[in-house]
Amino acid sequence: MNWTRTAILLAFMTAMFVTVGGLIGGSSGMVLAFMLALAMNAFAYWNSDKMVLRMYGAQEIGASQDAELFGLVQELARRAQLPMPKIYIIQNDQPNAFATGRDPQHSAVAVTTGLLARLSREELAGVLAHELAHIKNRDTLTMTVTATIAGAISMLANFALFFRSSTGDRNNAMGMIGTIALVILAPIAAGLVQMAISRAREYEADRVGAEIAGQPLWLASALERIQSGASQIVNADAERNPATAHMFIINPLAGHGMDNLFTTHPSTENRVARLKAMAQGMDGAAQAVPRRGPWG
């Protein structure tokens, strides 16, 4: 169902892109914006993972730096039938994590030191399984495509003012009003669709991640703990780069608790409720999550 929803939303964004280009009144602006979008997409496809990891100062680790963490990711990747991803640590007190990479063969999982300090082994396994689910579902590529289309729509809307003034239609008041409305509303609409796709993929990654870990309540408990920490601890890097917020398992920006059109993540309460319902259908899964102290 989530894949169907994502496909519909992507198709809607593509149609919006074509429509905005047509409303400009000529093909030259659309062609230019499309070429720029292709260039942006190619650059993001090959370099987006390196850019975001560098943005957060992530440091790659191997088995020699943290054999236990490396072994846990290795075991979960085996269960998910995925190649071993690279593992990165981010020096940040806010508990959080994200996955990146253009495909399973070029993937990475990044966790913050705050996450390792606050979660038990079971909760960490739930989080890592969720991130591996994003890799398995190729969500990082999906979000790159949606971000590129959204950016292209914004560029086309901005080009509309230039092309409107160059067509000799300056005395057409309705045309100018329509153009201004286009410049304002088209990027907003594209952003809303992008957010909706992000939320759909989070629900799906929760479900698949719970299956990989074998215990939905591990992830449910982790989400509650991360949400509590994220709401109290400011992630300065994320605040400086809000466009990356959709990548994290919990929104790293403060003040996003409602499950509505203006958030990149579903509400934690809704996600936990779904995971608890999922646990009820698994033998012995409804027991409390054991707390064995923080990781490490």
Selection from 118, 145, 117, 115 nearest residue 130 by Cα:
115
The token duo for 185 is: 């509303």
Q: Which amino acid is at 246?
A: H
Answer for the pair 130, 206: CB distance below 8 angstroms, yes or no.
yes
d(CA 86, CA 61): 8
Alpha helices in the chain (DSSP H): 2-24, 27-55, 67-80, 113-118, 121-136, 139-166, 173-213, 216-232, 236-240, 268-280
Pairing mode, strands 59-61 and 86-90: antiparallel
- DSSP letter at 290? P
Task: Please say if 131 is a catalytic residue.
Answer: yes
Q: How many angstroms separate the first and last alpha carbons of the chain?
A: 38
Long-range contacts of 101-105, Cβ-Cβ distance < 8 Å, separation of 24 or more: 101/49, 101/135, 101/140, 102/45, 102/46, 102/48, 102/49, 102/140, 102/141, 102/144, 103/138, 103/141, 104/135, 104/136, 104/138
| CB neighbours of residue 13 within 10 Å | 21
d(CA 153, CA 290): 48
Q: With the C-alpha atoms ordered 99, 101, 106, 111, is the resulting torsion angle positive or negative? A: negative
Single out the catalytic residue among 131, 211, 224, 269.
Answer: 131
Q: Is 9 left (phi over 0), alpha (psi -120 to 50) or beta?
A: alpha
Q: Which residues are catalytic?
A: 131
